[in-house]
């Protein structure tokens, strides 16, 4: 029996704006003092009126443009009524019938819509009870909904990563899942018969990219087991428990009618074409190089592997560093590819060990110089690794560091010639074996010569000179 899972994603992302969605309180997700960025509007005092944040609308329209969505001409906000202590008005201002963006595609996944709403306050549960912090109440929140066209967890994970990259590239949001700046919900169903959809379960509390895949896989498996055991899947909302690596029941899902959506009477309708900065031409012109464009360019221009390109485009710091190194190398394809390789494996390794990606001591020009030393054979890959570690730690000129530490390879044939004649004299047995046709003996002789030169010999040159001496 083959089961076909179907997944649709809903993603909420806090937008980076100066002020909140409907008032002039500051939008600062890093504010640690509770109830600091608040005002009568976001505290829902009676008689206050909301005002639409132009910057937030611009962000969503720009995101919509980047994913090739249809931008609405007419748009409006709606009240979504429900009671919760973190929603002081008793309703959230959201969008229902007329979202800002419809359609579009990201990472091969078709989008349904992107709309704008306001974030809720946050509840702090501790031993003293539950307290509410309104700093977050009213922060502009983008909601993006995909079509139910995903059939495996890997695609969902790739989609989420690409969306984070896009939001960061557009400087629309930091989109850290761990900080709750981007929140994922997955609607998952499993169909047992072709052409028939199963009952949908919503999974929330997915706080990391790793959890996206794990939560979806777990939920698919749970539903399959229910079906196999002759039980039915209940329509409900489940949470992802990171500790137990399992989903758990949270609540039974209410339908959309329960929210009693109706157009927000305190806000004007939006006629997008009336606003100059929202013209499609202006929005398109404002787009930087998008993540998938950059990835393709790296792959084509420097023949990078997709995984290496993905590593390099993940953060603005990495992008800026790599682009500066490429410029310092004159955009030479081979040198830049070598640089990419050293950034991903060696520099990446140092970062992983340190737990930070601090390159304050490593200007791109110095890194480029290191790459040129490797390319010219002056520095072995082992020597480059050691030099790089010193560069990251203390900074300095790569050539000087390599010299001071005796890491420069001996390129001088005179010096190497002496090493090679010594090896040939001392290693009679291996020499005889090599002459007798045993190729492996060559590797042994190269190793001996490297040892004699204290690791400073250029292995390529040693091989050539040995082969010549032994013919």
Residue 257 CB, shortest distance to Zn ion, in Å, is 30
- Residue with Cβ nearer Zn ion (134 or 278): 134
Residue 134 CB, shortest distance to Zn ion, in Å, is 8
Residue 41 CB, shortest distance to Zn ion, in Å, is 5
- Residue with Cβ nearer Zn ion (15 or 41): 41
Contact 92, 117 (CB under 8 A): yes
- Residue with Cβ nearer Zn ion (25 or 189): 25
Contact 322, 310 (CB under 8 A): no
- Residue with Cβ nearer Zn ion (23 or 388): 23
Residue 40 CB, shortest distance to Zn ion, in Å, is 7
- Residue with Cβ nearer Zn ion (43 or 246): 43
Residue 20 CB, shortest distance to Zn ion, in Å, is 5
Residue in the block written with tokens 């007329």: 98
Residue in the block written with tokens 């509007």: 41
Residue 24 CB, shortest distance to Zn ion, in Å, is 7
> Interface with Zn ion by CB under 5 A: which residues?
23, 25, 39, 41-42
- Residue with Cβ nearer Zn ion (37 or 387): 37
Residue 25 CB, shortest distance to Zn ion, in Å, is 3
Residue 170 CB, shortest distance to Zn ion, in Å, is 25
Residue 299 CB, shortest distance to Zn ion, in Å, is 45
Rounded Cα gap, residues 381 and 412, in angstroms: 19
Contact 379, 373 (CB under 8 A): yes
Residue 39 CB, shortest distance to Zn ion, in Å, is 3
- Residue with Cβ nearer Zn ion (23 or 337): 23
Close Cβ partners of 111 (under 8 Å, ≥ 6 residues apart): 67, 69, 101, 103, 104, 105, 144, 145, 146, 147
- Residue with Cβ nearer Zn ion (85 or 288): 85
Reading the block at residue 384, the tokens are: 């480059």
Rounded Cα gap, residues 403 and 400, in angstroms: 5
Residue 79 CB, shortest distance to Zn ion, in Å, is 18
- Residue with Cβ nearer Zn ion (42 or 144): 42
- Residue with Cβ nearer Zn ion (32 or 356): 32
- Residue with Cβ nearer Zn ion (42 or 335): 42
Residue 172 CB, shortest distance to Zn ion, in Å, is 21
Rounded Cα gap, residues 228 and 31, in angstroms: 49
Close Cβ partners of 394 (under 8 Å, ≥ 6 residues apart): 361
What are the backbone dihedrals phi and psi of residue 184, each rounded to the nearest 5 degrees, phi first?
-110, 140
- Residue with Cβ nearer Zn ion (27 or 336): 27
The total number of residues written for the chain in this structure: 471
């Amino acid at each position: 029996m083959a089961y076909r899972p179907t997944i649709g994603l809903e993603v909420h992302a806090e937008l980076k704006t100066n002020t909140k969605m409907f008032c002039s309180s500051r939008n600062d997700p890093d504010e640690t003092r509770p109830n600091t960025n608040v005002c009568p509007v976001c505290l829902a005092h009676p008689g206050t009126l909301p005002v639409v944040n132009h910057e937030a609308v611009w962000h969503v329209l720009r995101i919509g443009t980047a994913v090739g969505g249809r931008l609405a001409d007419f748009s409006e906000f709606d009240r979504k009524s429900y009671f919760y202590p973190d929603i002081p008005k008793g309703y959230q201002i959201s969008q229902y019938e007329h979202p800002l963006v419809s359609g579009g595609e990201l990472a091969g996944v078709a989008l349904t819509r992107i709309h704008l709403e306001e974030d809720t306050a946050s509840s702090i549960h501790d031993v003293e009870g539950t307290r509410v912090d309104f700093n977050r109440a009213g922060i502009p929140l983008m909601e993006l909904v995909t079509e139910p066209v995903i059939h495996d967890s890997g695609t969902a994970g790739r989609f989420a990563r690409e969306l984070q990259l896009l939001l960061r590239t557009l400087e629309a949001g930091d989109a850290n899942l761990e900080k709750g700046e981007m929140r994922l919900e997955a609607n998952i169903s499993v169909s047992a018969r072709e052409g028939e959809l199963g009952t949908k379960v919503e999974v929330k509390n997915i706080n990391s990219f790793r959890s996206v895949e794990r939560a979806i896989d777990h939920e698919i498996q749970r539903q399959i087991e229910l079906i196999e055991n002759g039980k039915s899947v209940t329509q409900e909302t489940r949470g992802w428990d990171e500790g137990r690596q399992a989903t758990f029941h949270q609540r039974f899902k209410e339908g959309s009618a329960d929210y009693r959506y109706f157009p927000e009477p305190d806000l004007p309708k939006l006629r997008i074409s009336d606003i100059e900065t929202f013209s499609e031409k202006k929005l398109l012109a404002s787009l930087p190089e998008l993540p998938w464009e950059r990835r393709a360019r790296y792959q084509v221009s420097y023949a990078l592997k997709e995984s290496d390109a993905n590593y390099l485009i993940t953060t603005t710091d990495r992008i800026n560093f790599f682009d500066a190194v490429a410029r310092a190398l004159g955009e030479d394809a081979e040198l830049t590819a070598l640089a990419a390789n050293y950034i991903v494996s060696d520099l990446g390794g140092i970062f992983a060990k340190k737990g930070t990606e601090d390159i304050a001591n490593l200007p791109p020009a110095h890194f480029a110089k290191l790459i040129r030393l490797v390319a010219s054979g002056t520095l072995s890959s082992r020597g480059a690794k050691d030099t790089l570690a010193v560069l990251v730690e203390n900074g300095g000129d790569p050539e000087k560091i390599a010299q001071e530490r005796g890491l420069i390879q001996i390129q001088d044939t005179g010096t190497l010639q002496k090493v090679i004649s010594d090896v040939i004299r001392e290693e009679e047995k291996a020499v005889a074996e090599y002459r007798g046709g045993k190729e492996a003996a060559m590797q042994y002789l190269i190793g001996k010569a490297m040892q004699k030169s204290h690791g400073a010999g250029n292995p390529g040159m040693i091989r050539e000179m040995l082969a010549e001496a032994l013919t």
